[in-house]
A and B are shown apart, each in its own frame.
Chain A
Amino acid sequence: MDLTLSDEQRLLRESADRFVSETYTAGHRRKIASEPLGFSADIWKEFADLGWLALPIAEAHGGLGGGAIEIGILMEAFGRGLVSEPYLSTVVIGASLISECGTEAQKQALLPKIADGSLYLAFAHSERQARFDLADVTTTAKKTPDGWRLDGHKTAVLDGNAAGQIIVSARVDDGSGKPGKLCLFLAPQGARGLALRDFPRLGGGRACNLELRDVLLPADALLGDGSDALPAIEAVVDRAMAALGAEAVGIMQTLLDQTLEYTKIRKQFGRPLSANQVIRHRLADMAMQCDEARSMALRAALMADAEPVARSRAASGAKAKIGKCARFVAEQSVQLHGAMGVTEELDIGAYFKRLLAFDTLFGGSAYHYRRHATLGGRAVQA
């Protein structure tokens, strides 16, 4: 039992914190918000040089073989700066799906490109009718003489506009009329029949909705050997939620720090706001919830490779709890900044919006408390 950081992990945290605080100023964020990609390709190159893009990729495929703890360290730093580079889409989700499902040839072709920064990925999975049910997919893949034909729609595809390859989930239509196996397909950007509706994303970065109409893909577009991809998708999304939880911790801590500072400086009725007990107790609650979020993000990371039920309960528990804490800390940060908190003139609003996006992604608190309650058959594990 040891929850202290190793020397390597400490160094990673220091370099990530330094990079983010030097690079990710408010001015920088404003500048990239108007760029078509929603992030900076130059910074992505620096991520590659720092080894961060290779972090979770296996050493056999040119990676560093890191795990959920290392990802969490980076994501927390990213949260502090509201980093909008597609790290989650490309590295945390994309590289993991390829590692989990891909054939050896696919891994060798794609993973080194992720590590060197030359390939962006997106994961097109959510559909409107599914809300957050990972198994609910209506997009179909039909076998053709030359490969596959995909039809359907996808929503909230993070960083789809930047992606060189979009990983699309679809049910294989074998003509039996019954829902087929859930599989993943690699669709290149610009494929005929693939229509992107790109938009700026709440809290920074971009996302898109996808329309797939007679999208023809070669036979090797199928990721892996055609076995059911749902268990892998669940595992990868659980890990993505752990990573997002760590990012949320960084965002919440920044909001707490800034709000604490503000309530000490801002004077009303001849004394600082922080002299009032109602404010002090609110801040105490915010601090407590930041710390609780930190515990749960760490727990989800530590359980990322546990057996599926334990892993999913930890991930859903973390997502639900951190989501609840994040909303509280975000809303109270705006409240304690008074009218200024509701304007674009302070950074508070940007952090607030990123936390709102966090709570929504892959399902909010209510959804994940329900998922937690139904996982594993009984409510409380001994």
Chain B
Amino acid sequence: MDLAFNAEERAFEKEVRDFIAENLTPEMKRATALTPSVFSDPDIGMAWQRALHKKGWGAPGWPVDHGGPDWTPAQRWIFETECARAGVPNVNVMGVKMVGPVIIGFGSPEQKNFYLPRIVSGEDYWCQGYSEPGSGSDLSSLKTRAVRDGDDYIINGTKIWTTHAHHANRMFALVRTNETERQQDGISFLLIDMKSPGITTRPILTIGGDHEVNQVFFDDVRVPVTNRVGEEGKGWTYGKYLLEFERGAGIASAKLRDALKTISDLAESDATGRAIDDPDIAVRMSEVEVDIDTLEMTELRVLSALQTGQNPGAVSSLLKLRVSEIRQAVTRLGVDVIGNDGLYVEPVRPLYRLNEAPAIPEELLPVVPEYLNGRAYTIFGGSSEIQREIVAKMVLGL
């Protein structure tokens, strides 16, 4: 057993560092640090995606013949870790990490040829149409209808919590094409052009003051049948496949460590009156850091299993639970570290383009919004209560 990376992997690490040093501008870095929502706005996020694409790194995890870089699990780890350490923009995952793998797995040759290159290059910007006002955790109860009319489906209904729908030109959606006995059986997976007539988008402000999510309405929206992925009625299978990605069997510890490092640096700065000198804060900082160490080790165990071609098992629910809880612990600690400056409310967005200097040090601005918005981490992608049920079923066999 050995935690160290080999010479080839260390050479790759240097290549990643060099790439970041050349391409991550101070503006991107500052904008990312001052973004209190999950994803960077497209002007920042897509600039980074284009740089990745130019280097041939636009679609980690994709097969080589679709433009993937053919990295080993260890290279994926190194890439994600270095990106987190450097504070690169958080590119919206709906394209590369979510709809991309579904199209690769289940799409037609025409769909693959058309959509995949546009995802990697950043030409298309995707949003996800899953949740509905009446269908949250019980997602398969969804009611948005797609009725066949010649070569089109006609869509009526509404989707909610749609991240970046106001930026996206495309949506992948689960819609009901049949009333079946098992509600999962009547669902299909559609690719929708957001400019189609009949689509309207309503912004929803989160408690942190950010516009990241929306409600999307469909009134007699025509979608060509050729935009259906795979078979009619099999959408639930494809959608679940994708949820596995959303639950992140991925690499989250590096980002969490970077977030905690930011809070720790604030705690050691005069801006917070050296909050770290409060022994309670120092101990809680250690508690969270140890939780991140634990998560990192679990991720490395999974990585090592993948490297040697073993099945890591049903760990993705387990990881999702801990990642979301630890992220919330980091943001909660942040609020306690900044003390009185947490009372300041900055209503203007984006925080990296304010017209007037704020009344508190700039770097403290995202702390409270991150905590408030961060309550969603244990809710989206399957709430923690749903995740515990999955662990009971899949891991414990109950």
| B396 x A260 contact (CB < 8 A) | yes
A-B contact pairs, 17 of them (CB 8 A): A1-B2, A1-B74, A1-B304, A1-B307, A260-B396, A277-B389, A284-B388, A287-B391, A288-B321, A288-B391, A295-B295, A298-B297, A303-B3, A321-B290, A378-B268, A380-B261, A380-B264
Q: B29-37, B94-102, B219-227, B280-288: which lies at the A interface?
A: B280-288
Q: Give Cα A295–Cα B294 distance, bound, in whole angstroms.
A: 6
Among A284, A373, A382, which residue has its beta carbon within 8 angstroms of that of B286? A373
B-contacting residues, A245-273, CB 8 Å: 260, 264
Pick from A296, A302, A321: contact of B1, CB under 8 Å: A302
- Select B4's contact among A1, A299, A321, beta carbons within 8 Å: A1
Is A379 within 8 A of B1, CB to CB? no
Min Cβ gap B148→A in Å is 39
Identify the stretch in A2-10, A30-38, A174-182, A193-201 within 8 Å (CB) of chain B at 4 or more residues: A2-10
**CB neighbours of B300 from chain A (8 A):** 1, 3
Contact A372 B392 (CB under 8 A): no
> Is B261 a contact partner of A1 (Cβ separation < 8 A)?
no
Residues of chain A lying within 8 A (CB to CB) of residue B263? 380
Which residues from chain B contact A274 at a C-beta distance below 8 Å?
Answer: 398
Q: Which residues of A are in contact with B by a Cβ distance under 8 Å?
A: 1-6, 9, 69, 260, 264, 274, 277, 280-281, 283-285, 287-288, 291-292, 295-296, 298-299, 302-303, 314, 317, 320-321, 369-370, 372-374, 378-382
Taken together as a complex, chains A and B put the C-alpha atoms of A296 and B268 apart, in Å, by 27
Main secondary structure of the interface of A (DSSP, over half): helix
Chain B contacts to A: CB under 8 angstroms: 1-6, 9, 74, 77, 85, 257, 260-261, 263-264, 267-268, 276, 279, 282-283, 285-287, 289-291, 293-295, 297-298, 300-301, 303-305, 307-308, 310, 318, 321-322, 385, 388-389, 391-392, 395-396, 398
Q: Given A372-B290, A380-B264, is A287 in contact with B395 using a C-beta cutoff of 8 Å?
A: yes
Min distance, Cβ B308 to any Cβ of chain A, angstroms: 6
Report how far A37 CA is from B322 CA in the complex, Å.
Answer: 43
Q: How far is the CB of B350 from chain A (nearest CB, A)?
A: 27
- Complex contacts, B307 vs chain A, CB 8 Å: 1-2
Given contacts A283-B398, A379-B276, A379-B289, 8 further A-B contacts (CB under 8 A): A2-B1, A288-B391, A292-B322, A295-B294, A296-B297, A320-B290, A379-B264, A379-B282
Chain B residues closer than 8 Å to A260, beta-carbon distance: 396, 398
**Bound complex: CA of A381 vs CA of B264, how far in Å?**
9
Chain A residues contacting B285 (CB-CB under 8 Å) are 373, 379-380
